[in-house]
Amino acid sequence: MIEPEGLKGAPEASEPGGTMSTEQASAGGCGAPAGGTPVSAAKDAGTQAVVQGRVTRNGSAVATGYARLLNAGGEFVAEVPLGEDGGFRFFAAPGSWRLRVLAPGNVRAERTVSADIGKITELEVAV
């Protein structure tokens, strides 16, 4: 099971109790929160398979947008907003995954990544 960091139990904007702030609605129209929580680098994966990284544009953090994890068949599995440092983190099942980054201005990037128990897979995504 995938557990995106920081979203456990959070309502979606379309669910009762879930709302989209003015900042989210105006962030290029993508609904991403601007400058989410920074993602500190994990030092030990323990018994987890961790996929984490940072999204940058021209060397600067992209703090507004989403990182999505898709399975090998291309189906959506999990999504997290980018942190203020452009960071993201997923606790994934072992195997091959597709990471998709979406940001304002019709920015989209994809990377294939492999997750392994006890390892942290680091990605730097320049858009």
Asked if residue 9 has pLDDT above 50, the reply is no
Q: How many CA atoms lie within 13 A of 76 on its CB side?
A: 7
Q: What are phi and psi of 36, to 5 degrees?
A: -70, -170
- The residue-averaged pLDDT of 30-44 equals 56
- Asked if 69 contacts 118 with a C-beta cutoff of 8 angstroms, the reply is no
Q: Tally the domains of the chain.
A: 1
Please give the pLDDT value at position 17: 41
d(CA 10, CA 21): 14
CA 86 to centroid of chain Cα atoms = 9
Please give the pLDDT value at position 95: 96
Containing structural domain, residue 72: 3-126
DSSP state of 24: H
Tokens of 30: 């993508």
Task: Give the CA-trace dihedral at 60, 63, 69, 74, to 10 degrees.
Answer: -80
Instruction: Compute how many other C-beta atoms are within 10 angstroms of the C-beta atom of residue 21.
Output: 12
Place of tokens 């400058």: 35
**Secondary structure (DSSP) of 70-122:** E-TTS-EEEEEEPBTTSEEEEEE-SEEEEEEEEETTTEEEEEEEEE-TT-EEE
- CATH classification of the domain holding 41: 2.60.40.10
- The residue-averaged pLDDT of 92-116 equals 95
Given pLDDT bands bounded at 50, 70 and 90, which one contains residue 101? very high
